[in-house]
Amino acid sequence: MVSRGEFRQDLYYRISTFPILLPALRERRDDLSLLIESQLQRIAPKRNLSIHPQALQSLQCYEFPGNIRELLNILERATLLSDGDLILPEHLPEECREIAEKADNMPVSPVVMPLREVERQYLEWVVQHFDGDNKTLAKKLGVSERTFYRKMRIVS
């Protein structure tokens, strides 16, 4: 905004003495289980609530456009919908569950991994789900048949 002239440069330097970068929730998926656990204790301190692994997976796949406030709303809603001490996937909003279902059908994991591993997983998946012959599959993948067979050696 300073470079566009929409914010005063001197004011920016006064308030940016010690910038603190807070990554979005979607960039900290590994911290999500701990964050959920602590928030459940805060939301319902008298209940011994925990989250089902599938519900946690649904939340880990979700992008959280509303960041932490959206997570808190989702957890508050889930505590109201759950009768017992376990939050199940059905207690989560439909958009969270849909994304997890799509992720289950994805050939690769939603976490960052080496490209060789992504390629291996994808080839494994595509071979299982393709009904044609290898020559046709190689053509659909955009590689020569020889390259396809060479890449298939990494799957084996």
pLDDT digit string (tens) for 106-141?
Answer: 555 666 778 888 788 888 888 887 888 889 999 988
- Average pLDDT, integer, range 71-79: 96
- Average pLDDT, integer, range 88-94: 93
Question: What SS3 state is found at 156?
Answer: coil
Helical spans, DSSP H, in the chain = 9-15, 32-43, 53-61, 67-81, 94-105, 115-129, 134-141, 145-155
Q: Where are the chain's structural domains? A: 22-105, 111-156
With contact defined as beta carbons under 8 Å apart, do 130 and 137 qualify?
A: yes
Question: What SS3 state is found at 50?
Answer: strand
pTM over 0.85: no
Mean pLDDT for all residues in the chain = 86
- Average pLDDT, integer, range 69-77: 96
pLDDT value at position 14?
87
- As a whole number of angstroms, the longest Cα–Cα distance in the chain is 67
Please say if the pLDDT value at position 38 is more than 90. Answer: yes
Does domain 22-105 correspond to CATH entry 1.10.8.60? yes
Rounded to an integer, what distance in angstroms lies between the CA atom of residue 39 and that of residue 54?
A: 18
